Amino acid sequence: MNRKGEKHQTGEGEASSASSAALPSLEFPHSSSSGIPSENDTMKRAAAKKLIERYFYQLIDGCGNSNCDNEHCASSGKVKNLTPNQAAAQAIQLFSQEARLCDMQPSKVARTQSGSIRKNNEYGRSTSDSNNTSKEAAAYTRSQSATPRMEGDSPSVPQGKPVGYLTEEKLVNILETCQKSGSWVLLIRALGEVFSRPVSLGQSFLQETPDSPLEAILNKAPKDLKNLKKEDVRTLEGEPDKDEDSQELAESVESGATSRLQYHSTSPDDIGLDFASVRRAYKALLKEAPSSAYEGPLVQAVSTLAQLVEVDLRFPLGVATSEELLRSVLVVLELPTLGSSEYLEQALPALCHALVPMPLPMQARLARILARHCKMRLKTMLEALQQLITLKVISGHFTRDYYVQDEESITAPTKFMKVLYYANMLAGELDPPELRQEEDVSAGSGVAGSADDGLLGAVGLPPSSSGLLGKGSRQQPPPPDPLGAELGISVLDARKPLLPFSEFYNEPLSDAVEMDKDFAYYKSDMRSFSFMNYAFILTPATKTLGLYYDNRIRMYSERRISIFHTVVGQPMNPYLRLKVRRDHIIDDALVELEMVAMENPKDLKKQLVVEFEGEQGIDEGGVSKEFFQLVVEEIFNPDYGMFTLNQETQTVWFNPTSFESDAQFTLIGIVLGLAIYNNVILDVHFPMVVYRKLMGKRGTYWDLEDWNPALFSGLRELLNYEDSDIEDVFMQTFRICYQDVFGTTFFHELKEGGDQIFVNQENKREFVDLYADFLLNTSVEKQFRAFRRGFQMVTDESPLHLLFRPEEVEQLVCGSKNFDFTELEEATEYDGGYTLDSPVIKDFWEIVHKMSVESKRKLLQFATGSDRVPVGGLSKLKLIIARNGPDSDRLPTAHTCFNVLLLPEYENKEKLSDRLMKAINYSKGFGML
């Protein structure tokens, strides 16, 4: 059938129509006679709807041809401002009249030289396209800067009809037009206009909302559209808008921005952006266009966009809504080429800088959206930020007056990385926040208990004496991270993040950060940037330095206070001195630490100095290391009865039936805290759940996996069993049994009358949760509370919670598991005449590399006072091998306080091996060195 009016002439002088042969019946089908739409009716309805939508957007947006003369097209200037309902009603009327329908193209494109038929490459582009594209892009960029602008014009939009916004369909049409014409100017202009303006980009690639006026009016339109009356049109036009904001947006188009209906989200995580459409559009762009046609324009456009986004964030003027700003940022973050060199040098730094003033609620919403819609892109986004930071660190010129913390091109992407950090947690597996323990069990809680509560009572003090412990020492819990508080989550809730937390470490940055300066920034009252507030980006070894500076400053502060008291006639010991006997080390340490805790718990913050009775030795760190080792060996001995050993995992757990007082558990908590405070690594073997509980997270079923794998496997099998005969197969009630270290069996009912309640499909999850809660929390609540109290006596004022996750606290306590002596060899220094090329040194390392792991541990113990690997590996252990005279029969000796190994210059390798093995196997205690 023929349309009314003449064929529409396109900008290239070619005839175009709306393919009237494909026009469906003018009857708009609702349903068949039976009330159920037939398949044919459904197809007709879809085809009719598609054409009506084209009329609708033609009335609202136009075809993009500035020379259009179609009176029913917004591009012609002959269409008055229409409300969404009016446009929808008129679109139905135009459909019924078979009115002219323009070809949709964003703008007119001048034809290139005609008559020249070029050979196409594999993507269908002419071989000359790539050669001309960069020139076209450069010419377009020059035209932007050279074209005079009216006051108030956007600096990113050239004179003429702007594109307004992009959809997948528009972009594909642009690509096809450019390929046919052999010129990429249209694409360059479209990308430059849309990607440089938050309003335009924020209105691009929107989801189709089912609640739009067009959809509503189509549902209410008469069945027979062929005989549509004027009264019907007026009735449809008069339908009230379902969204006044959509009408307001359609009526107030600013600076050529689109009048397209704005998407209104229905939930905080729903931004209205069609992510699948964005990714398809980018895929088509990368496939069909040469890189020179989009990389340069996009980099320039995103840089301009960043400036406007920053202005809108810092000075909200109503130019772009928060949703448009978020959508524009998300579209940019979806760019597949985000990590390429051009983007890293200009666009991405500008975007990160622009997002610095983003308000907290907006950051939280962005994190939720990324977690929900961009899981597959999080790794790419993170890698781009890591590359940017690494590039700026490597290429930066930092001095004593200009630090890494002062470089905004590093701090801005670090701040944005925090949003990805929380999005990564949200996208993974989270435990409910109710599992976080909020109770205050710090040293200063001042809570009275039994005469056996904590360290108090071990020397017969009454419960009221607990007030002595809390006097002047109560500390407020560390404030939560603001973004985490806004999202209602903590790092403790992250059972399994989408990406491992180690992916956020940046080693070049960690090596470049001077933690003494960063710690000063952290403590400063000024609004200085400190990486300690963004600890996720630092390696555990670097964060250990931050904790070390905090501890040392606190120790020096206690010394100054002691000197002041001495001057005024009240002498105080500037150190925490412990004098113990080797044969009674637990009893002596318990009494000594108990007296300190009663008199002044702050004395635990002093530097530890240990003296073994009857032995000569000055403690510069080495004697303390042996003290910790001996305490740990004895107190974790299964014969002592405080802890049980799991044979499968070789980890220890609290004995719920221990006869020892709570003071003993408080002591081991203090020892653990003192080891961290004094930078000593311990040979303890706790399951990970202990460190999670220390940091404030209750144990759950998932913690059983590394605590008791066999039990975890059995409970998982129970949870995965789906058949109805579960009661007959497992025969398990809510009554459980367990054994103590002596093999005695105990029974416990998880709920009242549990012995009569069988586990079935309905209550199996409840059984598993109650079982795990009893084993990991309830049964050892008394012992663990005392243990944690002792730990917090020492660490309550330190930034431990700020810097470290539970997995990192384990490294802090136990050291690294990377036992690589090649790293130690590369990090070792030489003194006294030895060099790396000395024959005895070469023989030494040949002998060491052939040792068993046990012998290597003994060598570490002999030379450093600890057989544990420090956080970050053996490369962080600064061992010094010094010459100790010529060849002799003496054994090697060591200054463990300073990690110095004194090695005589033995005459041959055999003698060196014999003397070294005897030294490491038979050494114990300290002599006068």
Check if the beta carbon of residue 608 is closer than 8 Å to that of residue 578. Answer: yes
**CB burial string 415-450: b at 16+ within 10 A, e below:** bbbbbbbbbbbbbbeebeeebbeeeebbbbbebebe
Q: Name the one residue in this structure whose structure tokens are 């019924």.
A: 96
**Active site annotation includes 897:** yes
Q: How many C-beta atoms lie closer than 10 Å to residue 302's C-beta? A: 26
694, 812 Cβ separation under 8 angstroms: no
Is residue 277 within 8 A of residue 169, CB to CB? The reply is: no
Residues 198 and 308: beta-carbon distance below 8 Å: yes
| Residue 308 tokens, joined | 């406007």
What's the 3-state SS for 56-92? HHHHHCCCCCCCCCCCCCHHHCCCCCCCHHHHHHHHH
> What residue type is assigned to position 29 of the chain?
P
CA atoms within 13 A on the CB side of 600: 10
- As a whole number of angstroms, the distance between CA 632 and CA 200 comes to 65
Evaluated on CA atoms 765, 766, 772, 776, the torsion sign reads positive
Which of 213, 233, 222 lies closest to 93 in space, CA to CA? 233
Torsion of CA 486, 491, 497, 501, to 10 degrees: 120
436 φ, ψ to 5°?
Answer: -75, 135
Helical ranges in 319-407 per DSSP H: 322-333, 341-342, 348-355, 360-373, 375-395
Cβ atoms 352, 309 nearer than 8 A: no
Tell me the C-alpha distance between 528 and 543, whole Å.
Answer: 18
Residue 77 to residue 71: CA distance in whole angstroms: 8
| Distance (Å, whole) CA 879 – CA 828 | 5
Per the rule left: phi > 0, alpha: psi between -120 and 50, beta: everything else, 883 is beta
Beta bridge partners of 903: 883
For the chain, what is the radius of gyration of the CA atoms?
37
Q: Which residues contact 63 (CB under 8 A, 6 or more apart)?
A: 70, 73, 75, 102, 103, 104, 105
CB 330 within 8 A of CB 369: yes
The residue written with tokens 């590039």 in the block is 391
- In sequence order, the 6+-apart residues with CB closer than 8 A to the CB of 351 are 302, 305, 306, 309, 329, 332
CA angle 363, 298, 136 (to 5 degrees): 170
Q: For residues 16 and 459, what is the distance between their CA atoms, to the nearest angstrom?
A: 100
**Exposure on the CB side of residue 735, measured as CA atoms within 13 A:** 10
User: How far apart are the C-alpha atoms of 447 and 101, rounded to whole Å?
Assistant: 81
Find where tokens 């090649």 sit: 822
Length in residues, the chain: 929
Query: Can you tell me the distance from the alpha carbon of 827 to that of 829, in angstroms, rounded to the nearest whole number?
Result: 7
How far is residue 9's CA from residue 100's CA, in Å, rounded to a whole number?
A: 11
Return the active site residues.
897
